[in-house]
Structure 1
């Protein structure tokens, strides 16, 4: 069975490629490489032991995307392609709405023209209202507070409307919490452009000496140690969630949280990283950032009930695999290639 993976050269996408091949699927990748490296696909091929067709195509390119569908017997789509930095989205919102929303509309149009009706959508916990109480369930109040989150929330509504219009469509909306870690092999992992936006890649840069100190935004939250608490999920567990979604496609449009159901603080992560890496990882406490919540974690019970999925890796596993990747690849995919 051939699965088109948009954005398949990215952090999560590359891990999904490995899981797909190991489960007997044939992935085909389209990615414009605006925030990813083709080396990730080559590394995924190395892990999985099978070639992965790749086409450098922007999903807004209807003709180019159509040619990929013409060339392969695509039966299902996993859709990652899009811009993803929360802070950047407030600076260049037009780019986010164009890439994420317009691109997805083109993808849906091409899928419909080729009779492909199954799509697993990369959504986000940012669709939830910051006023929602934890643990977050799929019925918690929605209310994204930045352009990135709004693109995800708007696309969830688009997909729900499309599914309601034609019973052939089958959509899963996978609401990720905080993906971290790397493949246990150390061959693929997170390789952000420039200064990382997310905690663990930033910690890794400090641990490898690429950055001098970790800024910690707020140590006066009502949490056990005063720092923000989040639901960190191993990227391999997350990748396996996509595989389970493909296996449990059903008519309509359904949302499901992919998280562990446990919250860890910023300092929990730092301490775990210090223990694994043996590096001091100095921190610089700064004021809280506007919009940051004290605590955010999932109720993952719907994922178990609907797609028979639950997270397996521990925080220690996530940190150990992150450090294995970072220490082997201090310059990301530009190392030893």
Structure 2
């Protein structure tokens, strides 16, 4: 059962599975996951639980539902600690660490809509950057100096050189991307000042799909900002049609090409990075992407094949700032972590459709506003 706000956080005792991650003394490694009830956070927590880690999830539930973690526990047949807390509240963060013997942190929490960040830059800098500073101070106070940070390919800006490599210059072009870039710089300076810190910066491209069970998936609050959930909501009848922004790009069908990565592959990448940090000090940066690009129209048609229906769409003008192509070079992650994206476009669409079809209103009950 989840620990709810107002109750004392509790450690859940369990018998680790064979091969569970543990310290040299045999104690199970405990990971605090910020933004744990969100899309990527919930899938990563499931993978961590399956691999034997102990989990404390922290989330303010501003853009997620606690139901996701209830379903994670059902899938993993393991319990976790949940604390409803905001990273802008230092006292709540301190309480989240107190008495729990946390070994490492995976940091997902943050606002993430590019368009909204342009309209509300102060809110994005306050939430993403100040929240991270509070988290780092709480970690340092409690002697926790191992961190996997959820960064983004947006830090590369509109670099035309493809595929994008980790040593390319960072030049984010919107407030959301600049918050990720600034946090990367903060973490780089922090590790340089104190070599006890072990930090992974994971720059991922376009996370899509859902757990193959259909129990957990992407559940945006309000209109989706990303293509996949929008297509899924059109397919399930929640929206009329997909807007395709730009049909005259220099690509194979004129629409923008992106590197999509299945959320389960992404979850595996976080676990691989966490394992790597245990034996490798310093700060490390990895792209998490497939290295393969798919156009907007290819996504729509692949989703049609998965759902067995026609998905209406309309062509529109390009959006300011959109690049024709964005592709990862994931070779460093394969070299260092032994990690490589395994899922196909067909499985991404099939899993996303299974989630959306089984949960037309996301985690909300029928009749609740979506």
Does the residue aligned with 1:90 lie in a helix, a strand or coil? helix
1:154 counterpart = 2:187: no
- Asked if the contact 1:7–1:80 (Cα under 8 Å) also holds between the matched residues in 2, the reply is yes
2:19 match: none
Q: What is the CA distance between 1:132 and its match in structure 2?
A: 3.6
TM-superposed CA distance for 1:140, in Å, is 1.6
Look up the match of 2:83.
55
Write the distance in 2 (CA, Å) between the matches of 1:282 and 1:138: 37
Distance 2:310 2:157 in 1: 36
User: In the alignment, which of 72, 96, 103 is matched to residue 68 of structure 1?
Assistant: 96
RMSD (Å), alpha carbons = 1.0
Q: Which stretches in structure 2 are left out of the alignment for 5+ residues?
A: 1-28
- Work out whether 1:121 is the aligned partner of 2:149: yes
SS in 2 for 1:183: coil
* Structure 1 counterpart of 2:42, from 14, 21, 25: 14
Question: 1:117 touches 1:168 (CA, 8 Å); kept in 2?
Answer: yes
Q: How far did 1:142 drift?
A: 1.3
Partner-residue secondary structure (3-state), 1:115: coil
Paired residues, number: 337
SS of alignment partner, residue 103 of structure 2: strand
1:188 alignment counterpart: 216
Q: Distance in 1 between matches of 2:151 and 2:76?
A: 26
Please tell me whether residue 229 in structure 1 is matched to residue 257 in structure 2. yes
For 1:71 and 1:85, locate their aligned partners in 2 and report how far apart those are by CA, in whole Å: 35
How far is the alpha carbon of 1:292 from its aligned partner? 0.3
Tell whether the 8 Å contact from 1:132 to 1:140 is kept in structure 2 after alignment. Answer: no
Q: CA deviation at 1:258?
A: 0.1
Deviation digits for residues 5-59 of structure 1, max 9, x if unmatched?
Answer: 0000000000011100111101100100011111111011111011111000001
Partner residue, 1:87:
115
Matched with 2:10 is none
CA distance in 2, matches of 1:191, 1:220: 31
Q: Distance in 2 between matches of 1:309 and 1:255?
A: 13
Deviation, structure 1 residue 253:
1.4
Name the SS of the counterpart of 2:363 in structure 1. helix
Q: Kindly indicate whether residue 346 of structure 2 is the aligned counterpart of residue 312 of structure 1.
A: no
- In the aligned structure 1, how far is the partner of 2:157 from the partner of 2:246? 20
When structure 1 is superposed on structure 2, of 63-72 and 262-271 the one drifting more is: 63-72
Q: Cα distance 1:97–1:35, how it changes in 2: closer, same or farther (>3 A)?
A: same
Structure 1 runs (4+) greater than 6 angstroms displaced: none
In 1, Cα distance between the equivalents of 2:179 and 2:169? 17
Greater mean deviation of Cα atoms: 66-75 or 4-13: 66-75
